[in-house]
Amino acid sequence: QVQLVESGGGLVQAGGSLRLACAYSGGIFGIAPMGWYRQAPGKQRELVARVSVGGSTNYADSVKGRFTISRDFTKNTMYLQMNHLKSEDTAVYYCNLQIQPNDYWGQGTQVTVSS
32-76 pLDDT, tens digit each: 889 999 999 999 999 999 998 788 999 999 999 999 999 888 888
End-to-end CA distance of the chain: 40
What is the 3-class SS of 1-20, one letter each residue?
CCEEEEECCEEEECCCCEEE
- Average pLDDT over the chain, rounded to an integer: 93
